[in-house]
Amino acid sequence: MARRRAGILSLAVAGTLALSACGSGGASTAPASNPAEATGTLRVLVPSYPASNEGKAALDKVVASFNAKYPKVTVEPDFATFDTLNQKISTSIAGGQGYDVLVTGIGWVPPFAAKNVFEDLSSFGATADSLGKSTDPALVPASEFKGKVYALPLIAAPKPLALRKSLFEKAGLDPTKPPTTMDELKADAEKLTVKDAAGNITQAGFDFWAGPGGYRQDFVALLGSLGKPLYDGDGNPQFAGAEGTQTLEWMKSMVNNVQKYGAQNAAKSPLVNTGEAAMGFTGGYIDCSDKGVGKATCDDLVYFNLKDKDGSMFTGGQLASVGKSSKLKSAAWDFIQELSKPEAESGIAALNFAVPAGKDSAGSEIVKSNPASTFVAANLGDAKFEGGAANWLELRGTFGTSLDDALLGKKPVEDTLKALEQQSK
């Protein structure tokens, strides 16, 4: 009998130990009013910095500057990637160990603001006007939700259009006059498409730089050239009207005409950079050294944006927010201030092949280093973003596959956009 009681007791103790081991760590502590006296651990989720020696060295500089003001606060970085960001954020919330600082992408602010994951930065005096004094004004809307600021933009990662001068000249077109509307783009693309005897496209007239399910960002850029954003400032969908239909019909007429659906090279790099396409979407950074595409290719590229009713350039990027559940909110705010300083932003931009979000980014080394970055920095006023709805993170996967349904003719364009509009509400 005594042995049975001992067995049951030992099982109970083991169970209690296991439960307590699963309990939350509670790393953050309440702040002191004086930063120098604040203690605790600041958990920062930073996909901006790769988990490499360069990434860690760049973050260490930011941490050192932060620790000059908060010497007793330990910074605990989480070098997540954008692929794992959602899992990290959701499991940290579910586990009761939310991050103090979160760096996310453009389009992520409304969903996380709506779910009370991000702190309203007006409590630190941040407004759209104050943000516009230090950040490029074109990027400010990406940090807002229902009129309040929830993030500080750090970098912008635009996707401009580019053409190959040599291929334009070969087709009898003038590379100094890039197309400005979708109609002009299509007309030029059809002249630039080269096919073999079997009818396979060997040189795409226009590259969407998109695999299956990846045409969403192109849609945003093209819709923007007709003067429509994906969502308005109140999160209402703007893509299901006449402009959206026109854009998607146009894309459908281009797919399997000037480029095979989902065509990508093995490296998934922009085909206009490799010469496999005469025109197309490309990145906001290009390496013109011998290790990259080389000077000859760089000189052969001309960057442009469509300007039908409005200049348009799809722009992604990264923004930093304070976690709503943070117990070190002031320290977190000061940390993201450190991240948004020009030197730190330039470091992040260099690591991510993007441009700094600061107002004076035109003078930064990364922007001056290559023609793509110089172009996008000078044209950030054309920036068009994806997202804007509170359920964008849930919707964006469906958005991509739904566009494919229309592009491949499986569903009518109008029905596709109407269904997406319904899901947005």
Partner 1 sequence: MRAAGAAHARAARPEGRKSRLTRNQSRAGWLLLSPALLHSTFFLAVPAVVAIFLSFTDYDFSGTWKLIGTENYVELFQDPRFQAALRNTIAYTLVVVPLSMALALLIALGLNLKIRGLGFFRTVYYLPVVTATVAAASVWLWIYHPSAGLANAVGSLFGLARSEWLNDPGTALPALMAVGIWQGLGAKMIVYLAALQGVSKELLEAANLDGANRWQVFRNVIWPALGPAHYFVLITAIVQTFQVFDLVFVMTKGGPVNSTTVLTFDIYNNAFEGLRLGYASAETVIMLILIAVFIYLGGRSQRNTQDGQ
Where along the sequence are the contacts to partner 1 (CB under 8 A)?
Answer: 3-4, 7, 11, 14-15, 18-19, 22, 86-87, 90, 93-94, 111, 114-117, 200, 211-213, 260-263, 265-266, 391, 393-394, 396-398, 400-401, 404-405, 408, 410
CB-wise, 311 or 400, nearer to partner 1? 400
Task: Please say whether the beta carbons of 213 and 405 come within 8 A.
Answer: no
Shortest Cβ 1–partner 1 spacing (Å)? 11
CB-wise, 4 or 133, nearer to partner 1? 4
* CA angle (233, 237, 240) in 5-degree steps: 145
Shortest Cβ 422–partner 1 spacing (Å)? 12
Rounded to whole angstroms, the Cα distance separating 335 from 347 reads 15
Shortest Cβ 393–partner 1 spacing (Å)? 6
CB-wise, 66 or 399, nearer to partner 1? 399
Exposed/middle/buried for 83, CB within 10 Å: 0-12, 13-18, 19+? Answer: exposed
Q: How many beta carbons lie within 10 A of that of residue 197, not counting itself?
A: 5
Rounded to whole angstroms, the Cα distance separating 347 from 355 reads 10
CB-wise, 158 or 400, nearer to partner 1? 400
Rounded to whole angstroms, the Cα distance separating 329 from 344 reads 20
Q: Pick the closest to residue 270 from 166, 367, 170, 164 (CA basis).
A: 164
CB-wise, 225 or 321, nearer to partner 1? 321
CB-wise, 86 or 257, nearer to partner 1? 86
HEC readout, 134-184: HECHHHHHHHEECCEECCEEEEEEEECEEEEHHHHHHCCCCCCCCCCCHHH
CB-wise, 163 or 390, nearer to partner 1? 390
What residues contact 339, with CB distance under 8 A and at least 6 apart?
48, 62, 101, 103, 152, 154, 320, 345, 348
CB-wise, 67 or 86, nearer to partner 1? 86
CB-wise, 216 or 228, nearer to partner 1? 216
Shortest Cβ 238–partner 1 spacing (Å)? 22
CB-wise, 341 or 411, nearer to partner 1? 411
Residue 75, beta-bridge partner list = 42
Exposure string (b/e) for 39-75, b if CB count within 10 Å is 16 or more? Answer: bbbbbbbbbbbbeeeebeebbeebbebbeeebeebeb
Shortest Cβ 350–partner 1 spacing (Å)? 28
Shortest Cβ 401–partner 1 spacing (Å)? 5
* CA angle (209, 215, 218) in 5-degree steps: 75
* One-letter amino acid of 105: G
Shortest Cβ 117–partner 1 spacing (Å)? 8
Rounded to whole angstroms, the Cα distance separating 55 from 42 reads 18
* One-letter amino acid of 376: V
Task: Please say whether the beta carbons of 340 and 271 come within 8 A.
Answer: no
Shortest Cβ 370–partner 1 spacing (Å)? 27
Shortest Cβ 10–partner 1 spacing (Å)? 8
Shortest Cβ 38–partner 1 spacing (Å)? 25
